[in-house]
A and B are shown apart, each in its own frame.
Chain A
Amino acid sequence: MIEVLQTGPLNTVQDLGRFGFRNAGVTSSGAMDRLALMVGNLLVGNAEGEAALEIQTFPFRLRFERDMAVAVTGADCEARLDGRRLPPWWAMPVLSGQVLELDTPRRAARAYLCLAGGIEVEPVMGSRSTSLRGGFGGLEGRFLAANDRLPVAGAAGPAVPQGGFGVMPPETALAAHFPAPEDGTLLVRAVPAGEYALFGAEAERFWTQTWKISSHSDRTGYRLSGEPIRLASPVELRSHGVVPGVVQMPPSGEPIIQMSDANTAGGYPKMAGVIDVDLWRLGQARIGSRIRFVRSSIAEAREAERAVRAYLDDVRCTVPMLAQALAAMSRR
């Protein structure tokens, strides 16, 4: 068990999402930064999709009620274990009674706390992800509160050695495969979607201008503010399925990017779709920060996906070897 001592609103249990029920109107949910969740799980010897805590409001404190191994990935939130500072993207063993504390990150938005064995809440429709809107999944379909206790399954992988170990964050390790931010503006790659052509020459401004992530943004979607791009006459489409990453243009002319908790259906014209492999970066973009869309292609997306897969494979292979080697050294 772990016990939440202090938390803000909207911190939830998430895994990689709920699939197979979109045709019943059930959104996928799941971690906003899937890559951070997968790496955190691999570090503690879990399968990459085990349920973990997604922390997006701080400070956050919890107490471990038994010895276990944990990893903190995603946004660097100056994690402290009993007051001792931990490096970012770090896995280590913890003892029963120890307290982990996470503070507001200076950059990026969401931290992931993965526990060896994974959080063992009851799966709903095949997933442990919390659906806040639907009120199911995770811990009673709601966000965490102080005094909540969460069960943790028994660890399956090799023990994480004393002192722990870390991994190079994807932002650094994969820098060559993602466009670098320009003047603090995150570049998000996207491909044109169904109604792109309707915007004619106006569509060019979609790519050239810098958009700000407005305060009306959350796990459901990001509302962007900037110079509006409107159609000559408004178009309302028949309700159709959408996926996270779709960039819709409501009549206001300011784009909405649908994210993990998005409605399964929509009817606004679709300007573009963020390439899947860039969604984790968007999941770490903060309210008030700026983004620009960069026109991409399926071929470019596949190239980046290959790099991400190689990085994950590397972590998957290295972690058990490292754990064993460090354990052998500490025995000597």
Chain B
Amino acid sequence: MSVMQGNVLSTPAIVATATADEPKISMIGTGAYLIEAPGAFDLPTQRRIWALAHAVEDWPEVREVVPGVTNLLVILKQTPEEPEQLHLRLGHEWDCARSIDLSGKTVEIPVTYGGDNATDLAAICDYSGLSDREVVRLHWQGDYTVVALGSAPGFGYLHGLDPRIYMPRKTVPSLRMLKGTVTIGGMQTGVSVLTGPNGWNSIGFAEMQMFEPTKTPPALLAPGDRVRFRPERIEL
């Protein structure tokens, strides 16, 4: 036992790769692999996911890569002949993947906090024990990074929410939340892009167009972009 501990201490890097650093790799159906990074939802992990996406997207058998929140979906052109081998290659690529910093643009989003569209602000106050003014201030003072786009066209998952205003998703979603609603879902925040059912908590509204189908690129945000919310109006 003591010998092993000695080894562990002398080679921390190898231990890290062999144990705590194993991603979870699984298939969805016959044409897609999901690689989930171990550890916390933080930017270093997300940067490594971006590096993995970058390394894998040019593989000849890959049709699309879809970065998620500390994970990557790899969609193949066809069902692999040797699925285990591809599994191993993806694992190896993760081991080699180093952090890349996507040097994104900074997008400032004007927001009307409170008002008719902030139907969940009171619940966040109850949950956090903060006043509505505090919740709003902590939200607009945040410095956010787009970790991934997904769910709906152009929707950006933002990292950087102050832990004091983390708020679990609702068990009963709002049936018709307006496009442009500024929301908090767990430890993430974002601006909804479609009017419809939504389980995140609304605190405000933004007019800015996040997606235009005929533009190149169609989405305003991209992974690595920085986002600041500017409180244009606060209606409390």
A residues in contact (CB < 8 Å) with B: 19-27, 124-125, 131, 133-134, 136-137, 141, 190-191, 193-194, 236-243, 245-246, 263-265, 270, 273-277, 298, 301-302, 305
Q: Which chain B residue lies CB-closest to A258?
A: B28
Number of CB contacts from chain A to chain B under 8 A? 151
B residues in contact (CB < 8 Å) with A: 24, 26-32, 34, 36, 41, 63-73, 75, 78-81, 83, 148-155, 157, 169, 186, 188, 193-194, 196, 211, 213-214, 217-219
Beta-carbon contact of B153 and A24 below 8 Å: yes
User: How distant is the Cα of A128 from the Cα of B179 in the complex, in angstroms?
Assistant: 24
Neighbour of B29 across the interface among A21, A136, A241, A246, CB < 8 A: A246
Beta-carbon contact of A277 and B30 below 8 Å: yes
Beta-carbon contact of A298 and B80 below 8 Å: yes
Interface centre among A21, A22, A24, A305 (most CB of B within 10 A): A24
Q: What residues of chain A lie closer than 8 Å to B64, measured between beta carbons?
A: 19-20, 22-23
Known: A20-B64, A238-B68, A241-B66. A136 touches B30 (CB 8 A): no
Beta-carbon contact of B36 and A238 below 8 Å: yes
Q: What residues of chain B lie closer than 8 Å to A298, measured between beta carbons?
A: 30, 79-80, 83
Beta-carbon contact of A193 and B80 below 8 Å: no
Interface centre among B28, B36, B80, B196 (most CB of A within 10 A): B28
Interface centre among B30, B68, B194 (most CB of A within 10 A): B30
B13 CB to nearest A CB, Å:
26
User: How distant is the Cα of A131 from the Cα of B32 in the complex, in angstroms?
Assistant: 22
User: How distant is the Cα of A274 from the Cα of B214 in the complex, in angstroms?
Assistant: 33
Neighbour of A23 across the interface among B67, B69, B188, CB < 8 A: B67
Known: A23-B64, A238-B71, A241-B68. A193 touches B28 (CB 8 A): yes
Beta-carbon contact of B26 and A243 below 8 Å: no
Beta-carbon contact of A265 and B151 below 8 Å: yes
Beta-carbon contact of B29 and A275 below 8 Å: yes
Beta-carbon contact of A302 and B81 below 8 Å: yes
B101 CB to nearest A CB, Å:
18
Q: Which chain B residue lies CB-closest to A274?
A: B29
User: How distant is the Cα of A305 from the Cα of B81 in the complex, in angstroms?
Assistant: 12
Known: A24-B149, A25-B219, A194-B34. A276 touches B27 (CB 8 A): no
